[in-house]
Amino acid sequence: MAEYDIPEGLRYTAEDEWVRVEGDRLTVGVTDYAQQQLGDVVFVELPDVGSRVEKGRPFGVIESVKAVSDLYAPVSGEVVALNAELADHPERVNESCYEAGWMIAIGGAEQSETEGLLDAAAYRRHVEERSKE
Amino acid sequence: MNALRRTPCFGLHRRLGARMVPFAGFSLPVQYESIVAEHHAVRERAGLFDVSHMGQIHLRGPGALPSLERLVSCPVATLPPGRVRYGLLCHESGGILDDVTVYRLAEDAFFLCVNAANVEKDYRWVVRHAAGDTEVRDRSAGTGLLALQGPASAAILERVTDLPVAGLRRFRFLEGAVAGAPALLSRTGYTGSDGFEIYLAAEHTATCFERLLAAGAGHGLRPAGLGARDTLRLEAALPLYGHELTDETTPLDARLERFVKLEAGGFLGAEALRRRQAEGPARLLVGFVLDGRGVARAGHALEREGRAVGSVTSGAPSPTLGKSIGLGYVSRELAVPGTRLEANIRERGVPVHVVETPFIDAQGRKAAPGRA
């Protein structure tokens, strides 16, 4: 059984994104489980700064050698920053999914949506459920 | 939904931490640790693949040679025992039933190595068109197949066999003991790098895989999965059945005419192919390199000035070239190196240009400028 890093203190979605909440700025990336499932990431397509994302709707695309997956917005809001380094170094997602491999920051989210995100324990249960299959 | 079949190495793959995926009805490793790392291992040192899902159809008896002369597109009468030739099984329409390698074991004994997804279809076809006095047997289930690929392959093999490995030339094979088991050792592969394929009884296959991994430990050998097999064959522009080759595609469309005995041939499909040759195929298979970001994948349209002129059959990032590459069919007049097209990737038009194939040279290195 593979080991997955699921840091305490971050919030998560069932679609395998993590969210770091700092005031009303939410930084978003994909989890260790997601990057291990994807394998070598070769391309990340992100929305422009200033565009709107809608909770549960695709905001971008992550592509590995073998597969293409949508990235889903954990909350609704406005893109206030993006990780431009991923354009040239998509492998950062594999090397450092929780730090250098971050994707976008969202501003202006409703607090109720943020509070509805999974905590580390709930997300770990979600991963373990699927690993049993 | 039928349960997935397992190769003799299934338990071993699990122990090695492979990610297993369904492929052609089998559960097979797509990767162990990283497709990219496994790809580089094959190009620079060596990789070991379990390809036991591939099928083997044996033909034996006085009718075997005339049967194969009728069944496959390549010449068989001139193939001496101990040698292998690549060819195609074609429908009478010229469409490709499968691409195969023909092994001549003896004057009147041969086998075809065929794609896993096509074993039953091919077997029925071979039985239907075999001449009298031909014994046809599908020995896929009892046969394991390992592919040891990469420049260090010969040195690794020499540690587990007394067969004269170094002197074995491309597209030839030997029979003898490999890792203590009776085997057929063939200098062939599907990666574009030097390497060997080892056929052996199913029950010896997992042991051979383990013995080779141990023998290769000091040579940088890694187990490698289907993911790397796909990126490796794509760099070498080797076609994949179901992608570049289908029942509706002819060998001429796929630019495989050097494997087709068009003039002399009385093989199935020859007449249709001669007609198509005279007319010129409407579309041709080309290699292309992306000039923008992303990956053009099978099914994406290839466009020129917003008009569809073809479609992608395979695409992937090329670890050797550091570029995104692909194969696809385009209208004949556009099948010229340097032609600029766009790949429609999720409604985004990404510039591509047509290049000569293969994308890499015979040593598995970057090809000369003008190629990729």
Q: What is the structure's pLDDT at B322? A: 93
- Token pair belonging to B334: 């556009």
CB proximity A85 to B under 8 Å: no
Question: Tokens 């080991």 sit at which residue?
Answer: A3
* Interchain CB distance below 8 Å, A63 and B295: yes
Q: Are A15 and A72 in contact (CB under 8 A)?
A: yes
Q: How confident is the model at residue B262 (pLDDT cuts 50, 70, 90)?
A: confident
Question: Tokens 């005419």 sit at which residue?
Answer: B257
Closest residue on chain A to B35 (Cα): A40
Q: How far is B367 from chain A (nearest CA, A)?
A: 22
- Identity of the residue in B35, B293, B297 whose CB atom sits nearest the CB atom of A40: B35
List chain B residues with CB under 8 Å of A71.
none
Q: How far apart, in whole angstroms, are the C-alpha atoms of residue B343 and residue B311?
A: 8
- Average pLDDT for B126-137: 97
Question: Tokens 């896929």 sit at which residue?
Answer: B140
Q: How confident is the model at residue B367 (pLDDT cuts 50, 70, 90)?
A: low
CA dihedral B87, B91, B92, B94 (to 10 degrees): -60
B115: pLDDT strictly greater than 50: yes
- Identity of the residue in B30, B31, B317 whose CB atom sits nearest the CB atom of A42: B317
Q: Are B58 and B111 in contact (CB under 8 A)?
A: yes
- Cβ–Cβ contacts within 10 Å for residue B339, how many? 17
List chain A residues with CB under 8 Å of B34.
39-40
B368: pLDDT strictly greater than 70: no
Q: Are B24 and B116 in contact (CB under 8 A)?
A: yes
Per DSSP, B346 falls in state T
Query: pLDDT 10s per residue in chain A (133 long)?
Result: 468 999 999 999 999 999 999 988 999 999 999 999 999 999 999 999 999 999 999 999 999 998 899 999 999 999 999 999 999 999 999 999 999 999 999 999 999 999 999 999 999 999 999 877 5
List chain A residues with CB under 8 Å of B20.
none
* Interchain CB distance below 8 Å, B294 and A45: yes
B1: pLDDT strictly greater than 70: no
Q: How confident is the model at residue B239 (pLDDT cuts 50, 70, 90)?
A: very high
CB proximity A45 to B under 8 Å: yes
Q: How far apart, in whole angstroms, are the C-alpha atoms of residue B193 and residue B48?
A: 12
Sequential DSSP letters for B228-278: HHHHHHHHTT---BTTTB-TT--TTTTT-GGG--TTT--STTHHHHHHHHH
CA dihedral B315, B317, B318, B323 (to 10 degrees): 110
User: Per residue in A57-81, is it b (16+ CB within 10 Å) or e — as a string?
Assistant: eebbbbbbbbebbebbbbbbbebbe
Peptide bond into B281 cis (omega under 30): no
B372: pLDDT strictly greater than 80: no
Question: Tokens 């007049």 sit at which residue?
Answer: B333
